[in-house]
Amino acid sequence: MAKRKTLLEIGDAYIQASWSHPQSNTDIIAIYRDVTPDNGKVDFVMDQPLRGPWSIHDPIANQTITDKSIAPDAYKECSALAMELFQDLNQLNLNQVKADWAKDLGTVYDL
């Protein structure tokens, strides 16, 4: 089961969230950007595709192997959680999103 790991607010423009999953050897990361227009209605976009857990560095061959079939359950579960966070960012107050994240034992950073 995927678990919330970190929620990092960078200035007023970006949110980076990460989740862990027992099937993955890395964190799964989503990056959101605040594109709120002048009218003040909150509007976040998911700026980049979900990152993780299919990149593995092979130290013997000294190359990175990219294969999304390595952790399909981790990717599916974290994709669903990333979309839930996307919806929360656009529907709830950001302070509420951060409080909910921390309540669910995730770590919140605000830079």
pLDDT tens for each residue of 11-59: 888 999 999 988 887 889 999 999 988 777 889 999 777 887 666 777 8
Q: Residue 17: what residue type? A: A
pTM of the model: 0.83
End-to-end CA distance of the chain: 29
Sign of the alpha-carbon torsion through 96, 7, 15, 12: positive
27: left (phi over 0), alpha (psi -120 to 50) or beta: beta
